[in-house]
Structures are given as structure tokens and as C-alpha cells.
Amino acid sequence: MTAQASPDGVPDDARSVVLARVRAALAGSTGGGTGPSFDHAAPGAPPDAGPFAAGDALPGAPAGPGYLTADDEWETGTTGEALLALLTDRVVDYRATVTRARTAEVPAQLVRLLAGAGRVVVPAGLDPDWVDALRSAGTTVLVDGPDAPLTLADLDSAGAVVTGSRLAVAETGTIVLDGSPDQGRRAVSLVPDHHVCVVRGADVVRGLPAAMARLDVTRPLTWISGPSATSDIELSRVEGVHGPRRLEVVLVVDDDAPGQR
Amino acid sequence: MSALRRPVALGMPGRRADVGHAPGGPALAGGASSPLRGEETFPRAAKRELAKPQLRANLAHATSTIRAKRAAVVGEVPDWEALRDAGAAMKAEAMQRLPELLEELERAVTARGGVVHWARDADEANAIVADLVRATGAREVVKVKSMATQEIGLNEYLDEAGIEALETDLAELIVQLAGDTPSHILVPAIHRSRTEIREIFLEHMAGVDPELTDEPRLLAMAARAYLRERFLRAEVAVSGANFAIAETGTLAVVESEGNGRMCLTLPRTLITVMGIEKVLPRAQDLEVYLQLLPRSSTGERMNPYTSMWTGVTPGDGPQEFHLVLLDNGRTAALADEVGRAALHCIRCSACLNVCPVYERTGGHAYGSVYPGPIGAILTPLLTGAVDHDDPNSSLPYASTLCGACYDVCPVKIDIPSILVHLRTRGVDAGRGGVPAPEAVAMKAAGVVMGSPTAFRAAEAASRAVRVLARDGAVSRLPWPGSLWTASRDLPAPPKEPFRAWWARERGASAAEGGK
């Protein structure tokens, strides 16, 4: 961005002016624009930000920023069936569905869930066994890939979409897609009205801190908690607005200890 | 109404001018009447809004619903208070490091293929957006709900530039179709009941089914059908941002309906307008705010959709991305060491939903796109309102200082203390010149209370007022007492003043005990 100088030599482009105003506003105060950093991994509590000392609210909390982090027993101690049951409870609470399948059962499960769905969109990186099963069942499969992206009209004409997922957060019933080849670009999981999303048991974490530790935020991320919804009419929740009105989660759990990390 | 006829209302010093802004007066930041400033003071606007029983019923219903939902989902978080502390601490850090964080954000966004623009004020931001839209050749844009673009009046500006801006959030669409103004940060149409929304759709929504009922599900379906084709053909979208991450250049938008995903994903060009205070240092900070925001805002464990994007991703989403960094008074707020915490606000609106004043007056009484407790501090801070003639200088009085807003604030903004600070700032700015009637009354009270003889005489005189009392209160005094009783009751004076009672009952023994 080019800085323009006013006649008196002081840059007066918007960038320079706004930054100068910010520096001037902070000039008189403690720190003066170079304050301490909040450390998520620091021992002890965060800097006191109010009349209640940080950390007071959580007796026995371990060293850390005061809240429950990815290393906490709250997170690491919740595994296996307890973790999957929590995820299921929270996803169902949003009026989405959860069905379980072993890896080998996923193709048949997808066929069941998508019976009568019409044309089905899949990202190019989806497990070929799943796609073959759908085709064998007579479903028209539309493959969206970087080399041959579907048009918006194609996506709009499809009855459903199947994707994988990056991870799921049990505590909030949230599934995160990160645009990996089995999940596709963001539009494919948005435009079709019915989203079938496959979540691997090993990708389930309990809370937000553990989820953030696993995610690369520079990938395009879509966090999904139930079907689209609105609270705009009298602040009551109504499911189903612009995003998919049906969300069905297939939770893949084999015998080898679900949720182990 | 002149200041003399009502020197005190809601405990607020009188205005010299109560309607509009005196022409020829000092220039007001944000314009005489703007999205950040109404035409009249809060007490006048509140009086008008309080006369709408349907409004009060709608607000009471909606705010009690959301209060219960919030309380339930906050109650299940074991470390809620620690999260609030962390949220407050990280915002304080971001404010302290704002210059370096903004420059870091700019570098990161640019490195990932985005273009960063800076805007000193609303006009500059609006002009940047309009130029960017014109450059694409588009004549219409789809919009994600955004307080920043509300604040700068972007839709109106684009309209004058011949560009149609279509709001796609359901509540914003209701407000836009009705030609109304928003009255809540999260649910701009909170003042409308389902019956009213049905009527608005039937009257203003092209192609709507005339058999539409007022069932919320069907109303939402009508909005879906109305907007679907517009999403699919949109070439340009305009959004705000809930968070921006300096270290990565990542932007985040938190939403419910999927209209945000549509706007952030389908068009070729995306323009995001963001206040400079939204920047956070690290991606990890989101693990705190994504717990605090949805539970405080809609009372859900998580909102249905959150989108995060970093610059441009080839083959996925908009291939042209512009970020407009907006000041528009934020640096003025930052310069106020007490008031600057108002910039920590993450726009959850929990403080509106618990405020006894907001619940009765609704959002329009505040005259600003930021209503409720947070608006009562943020609006005067952004507009630098200290002048008595500025309607915004009445906003810090739109509170009983009960503190409910502080209790629910997910980033622990001490709104009551900032309200008191802004009242002080206003009173200090008004010192000098002809003393206000309130100051004269206080001075007189000081003289009376400073002299035992004068005080005894005043006590005796007060007993005369008893003849006017009904049910223990005086509702109507003759002038000048009418100035007080016009806005509130006066408790009836006791039959006997305390000192007379004391002297009669305990006079002798008290004197002995005092030895």
C-alpha cells in the first residue's frame, strides 16, 4: 500500500492515519502498545481481568490458562463409549441423526441412508468403495473434483451429498470439515439439501481446545452443529433454513477401542 | 420540551436541546443523525416506545425465552468463569498490541492472496466497498448480517450508488422488507411477533404463497425459497467478521441459517468489513471465544455453522477477497482508558436480553444500531458524545446500574462502571456557565443539611406534604416539585421526623449512653 505524504511530510493515507491514531490512543496507558501476551500454556492463571481473580471458579484446576485445556483430565479422561455417547447425545439434540457402522458396513449404511435421495454429490477423494456401493445400488453419483468441478446448477439439482470429516467435538455436537479430498470444497456440502457425513470414531475429541490443537485454521473450515437453523422468530429455534435441512451422521466404530488417541 | 420544565429525568441532567442537533453547533462524529445516533434523547424515545404494548409483549416473550436457554447451557460448562477471565484477558492483550496485530494481520491476509484496505470512517469504508463492487460489474450484492456494515449505513450508500444490497439473514430480511430499523444486535427483528412477520412477508416478499401461516417453520421456508435463486446467481458478497487471527490472516463468521456459508462460499468476490478491534493474536484464542459466544448469544452449545477462511483458496470459495479495516470512532474509544473495554465486545447480545431497561423500551429507543447496555457505552464512546446537545450523551443514563449485564458478559466488560464513568465525563464537560437547576437544588440541599436549625425547619415543612399523599406516596406536587413527580413518585414524609421521635422516645437515655 502506497503511503502518500501530506504537504507537511506526515503520511495521510488511511492506513497511516488509523495506525497513528491507535498508537496515540495507547500512548498514555500501561504497556503503550506492546503489552504482555496471553499464554495458553503458561503455568498459573491468566492475568486478572476483573474483580474476581482468574482461576477462582475452578477449584483444583491444574496449571494452565485457568480454563480446561486439551491436556486436562476433563478432555483426556473421556474416551471410548462415553465420548461417542456424548457426541451422539449432542448431535441428536440438534435434530440430526447418528447411526453407527463398522468400517466394512459403511457402504451398505450409505446406500440405506440415501435410498430415494435422487442424485448424490460426492467429493473426488471419497472412499471409492462407498461410491461403488452407491452406484451399484442404482444411485446417480456426481463427482466433484478440482479438475472437474460441478456447476452450481448441478449441485442444486442433487438430492444429497456424502462427505468425510476432519474431526468432531463431542461436547458441542460439532463436526468440522477442512476441505480435504474426502470432504471437498465448501460448496458441495452446502447446496444439496441433505448431508450425510461420515465421522471416524478416532477423530472424536471432547472439547474445543482439543479440536483447535488438531486443526489447521489456514484451510477453509466449516464447523457444522446440526442442520441449518434460525432463532430469528421470537428467539425460538427452527431447524432448516438455507443450509442442508437434513444432517445424518455415520459414526464409524470398529472393535479397536473407539475414541482412543 | 425545555430543560427548565424537566431538569431531571431518569436521574439525568437536563438537555439544552432535546430534539435533533442544533444547526450550527459543533460537528458530531457520525453525523447529526446516523446509524449511530438517533434524533432524540433516550428518555423521550423511551417514553414513545413504552407506549407500545405489543412491542413490550414481544420483547418480554423473546428475552425470557433466550435468558432461560442461555442459563441452561452456561450452567453445564464447568470452567465458565475461567473462560470469561481468559476471554477478557486476551481481548485486553489484543487492545494493548493493536498496532502490531493489525500490521501482522495485513501481512498474513496479503500473503494468502487477499487485499487489505483501511478506512478512517464510515464514508471512506462505504466508498471502498462501492468501488470494489463497481469494479466487478455487479449491480447487486448478497449480505451476511454484520454490525459493522449496519454501523456505517452501507446498504443505503450502495443503494444511492445504484447497487442493490440484499440482506440474507432472516431477521435482517424482515427488517429490510418492512423498511424498519434493527432493534437487537443478534435478532434485529426481535420487536416483531410471528404474526407481524407473516404480514410483512405477505405484503413485501415477491412470489410468496398467499396461504402462508405464522408458523415459524413455514416463515423460514418462505425466506429460503425467496433467497435461494439470489444466492446461486450472486457474484459479490459483503460480510462482517466475528474474529480475525493476526498470526494466520484467518477470518471467522459465526452464524445459524447457512446464509453466511452461501455468501462466504458461492460468489466470486467477497468483501469483508471489520472493525479494527476484532483482531486476535492467535488461532488458539478461538478455543475460548467459540465456547463463550454461542452459549451467550443464542443459548446453544454451538451455533449451526461457523466458517473460517484465510485469504483465497484456489478452487474453493471466492477467488477475490478484500478486507476493509474500519476505525470509525474505535480509536476514540480506545483512547478512553476506562471505556476502552467496550471494544472487547464480541456482539453476543446477552446484556440486552437481561437488561430490565432494554426489555421494556426495546432497541429503537437507543437511536443507535448498538442498543442495550453495551450500546449505552459503545455508542457514546464511538461517537465521542459528551456534548449535552448530543442525544447520545443521554445513553449512559439508560440504566439502573443493576449489574445484570456485567454478570452475563462473556468477556466481563464492566458495563456499570463504564456507564458511571461516561456520566462523569458528560457532567465534567458541562461544567461552567449558568448552573443547571439540578446543581442549584444540590447546593440548596447542602446549605440546609449543613445547619441543624435549617434542617429542623425543613423537616417540619416536609410534614405539610403529607396532605398530598395517597397510599404512602405523593404522585403530584405543585411546581417546582412537579418537575420531580412528573417522572416518579415521592414517598410520603413520615408523621414524625426521626429526630423528633428519637428525642421523645430515647432522648434522655441516649444522652446518658453517649457519655
> In this structure, what CATH number is given to the domain that contains residue A212?
3.40.50.10420
Q: What residue ranges in B246-334 does DSSP mark as E strands?
A: 250-255, 269-275, 279-280, 305-310, 320-326
For the four alpha carbons of B187, B189, B192 and B196, in that order, the dihedral sign comes to negative
DSSP assignment string, B248-267: TTEEEEEESSSHHHHHHHSS
Measured between CB atoms, does A222 come within 8 Å of chain B?
A: yes
Distance from CA of A121 to the nearest CA of B (A): 16
Q: Which of residues 193-252 of B touch A (CB under 8 A)?
A: 193-194, 197, 216-217, 219-221, 223-224, 227-228, 231-232, 245, 248-250
Task: Find the DSSP H helices in chain A.
Answer: 14-27, 73-76, 80-93, 106-113, 128-136, 152-157, 208-214
Residue A179 lies in a domain: yes
Residue B132 above 60 pLDDT?
Answer: yes
Percent of chain B residues topping a pLDDT of 90: 73
A14/B120 Cβ within 8 A = yes
- Which chain A residues touch B301 with a CB distance below 8 Å? 90, 93, 171-173, 225
Residue B28 lies in a domain: no
A94/B224 Cβ within 8 A = no
Domain boundary among B264, B291, B326: B326
Question: Tell me, what's the pLDDT at A49?
Answer: 41
Q: What residue ranges in B351-510 does DSSP mark as E strands?
A: 473-474, 490-491
Residue B32 lies in a domain: no
Measured between CB atoms, does A228 come within 8 Å of chain B?
A: yes
- Which chain B residues touch A54 with a CB distance below 8 Å? 82, 85-86, 89
**B217 close to B252: Cβ distance less than 8 angstroms:** no
A228/B256 Cβ within 8 A = yes
Q: To which residue does cell 444547526 refer?
A: B23
Distance from CA of B486 to the nearest CA of A (A): 34
Measured between CB atoms, does A123 come within 8 Å of chain B?
A: no
Residue B315 lies in a domain: yes
Domain boundary among B273, B296, B326: B326
- Which chain B residues touch A225 with a CB distance below 8 Å? 300-305
Distance from CA of A48 to the nearest CA of B (A): 7
Residue B151 lies in a domain: yes
Summarize pLDDT for B471-509 with one digit per residue, the tens: 888 888 888 788 788 878 888 888 888 888 888 888 766
Closest Cβ opposite residue B258 in set A179, A228, A231: A228
How far apart (Å, rounded) are the C-alpha atoms in residues B331 and B344?
A: 13
- Which chain B residues touch A48 with a CB distance below 8 Å? 85, 89
Residue A238, H or E segment: strand A238-239
Q: Which of A2, A18, A147 is the best residue to mutate to test the B interface, defined by the most B CB atoms within 10 Å of its own CB?
A: A18
B97/A37 Cβ within 8 A = yes
Q: Which of B17-21, B202-206, B300-304, B333-337 has the lowest mean pLDDT?
A: B17-21
Closest Cβ opposite residue A208 in set B193, B227, B290: B290
Residue B163 lies in a domain: yes
How far apart (Å, rounded) are the C-alpha atoms in residues A146 and B474?
A: 78
Residue B385 above 90 pLDDT?
Answer: no
A66/B62 Cβ within 8 A = no
- Which chain B residues touch A153 with a CB distance below 8 Å? 232
Residue B511 above 70 pLDDT?
Answer: no
Distance from CA of A37 to the nearest CA of B (A): 6
Q: Please report the ipTM that was assigned to this predicted complex.
A: 0.89
Summarize pLDDT for B419-462 with one digit per residue, the tens: 999 999 988 887 777 777 777 888 888 999 999 889 888 888 88
Beta bridge partners of B322: B115, B271
Summarize pLDDT for A171-189 with one digit per residue, the tens: 999 999 999 999 999 999 9
Question: Tell me, what's the pLDDT at A30?
Answer: 58
A26/B96 Cβ within 8 A = yes
How far apart (Å, rounded) are the C-alpha atoms in residues A229 and B217?
A: 10
Residue A40 lies in a domain: no
Closest Cβ opposite residue B220 in set A47, A50, A240: A240
Q: Which of B56-65, B220-229, B386-395, B430-439 has the lowest mean pLDDT?
A: B430-439
- Which chain A residues touch B196 with a CB distance below 8 Å? none
A225/B304 Cβ within 8 A = yes
Total structural domains within chain A:
1
- Which chain A residues touch B306 with a CB distance below 8 Å? 221-223
Measured between CB atoms, does A104 come within 8 Å of chain B?
A: no
Residue B342 lies in a domain: no
Residue A51 lies in a domain: no
Residue A112 lies in a domain: yes
Summarize pLDDT for B84-95 with one digit per residue, the tens: 999 999 999 999
Residue B354 above 80 pLDDT?
Answer: yes
Residue A23 lies in a domain: no
In whole angstroms, what separates CA B156 from the centre of its chain? 20
Residue A46 above 50 pLDDT?
Answer: no
DSSP B169: S
For the four alpha carbons of B6, B7, B12 and B14, in that order, the dihedral sign comes to positive
- Which chain A residues touch B228 with a CB distance below 8 Å? 242
Distance from CA of B194 to the nearest CA of A (A): 6
- Which chain B residues touch A66 with a CB distance below 8 Å? 79, 82, 85-86
Total structural domains within chain B:
2
Read off the pLDDT band of A123 (50, 70, 90): very high
* Co-location of B124 and B267 in the same domain: yes
The more confident residue out of A255 and B147 is B147
Question: Tell me, what's the pLDDT at A187?
Answer: 97
Angle at B457 between CA B454 and CA B461, to 5 degrees: 135
Residue B236 lies in a domain: yes
Question: Tell me, what's the pLDDT at B205?
Answer: 93
Summarize pLDDT for B141-169 with one digit per residue, the tens: 999 999 999 999 999 999 999 999 999 99
Helices A14-27, B98-111: inter-axial angle, 10-degree rounding? 150
Query: The domain containing residue B151 runs over which residues?
Result: 66-326
Measured between CA atoms, the residue of chain A closest to residue B413 is A50
Beta bridge partners of B325: B118, B274
Question: Tell me, what's the pLDDT at B510?
Answer: 54
Residue A151 above 90 pLDDT?
Answer: yes
B98/A33 Cβ within 8 A = yes
Residue A6 lies in a domain: no
Residue A225 lies in a domain: yes
Residue A246 lies in a domain: yes
The more confident residue out of A232 and B352 is B352
Query: CATH number of the domain that B305 lies in?
Result: 3.40.50.10420
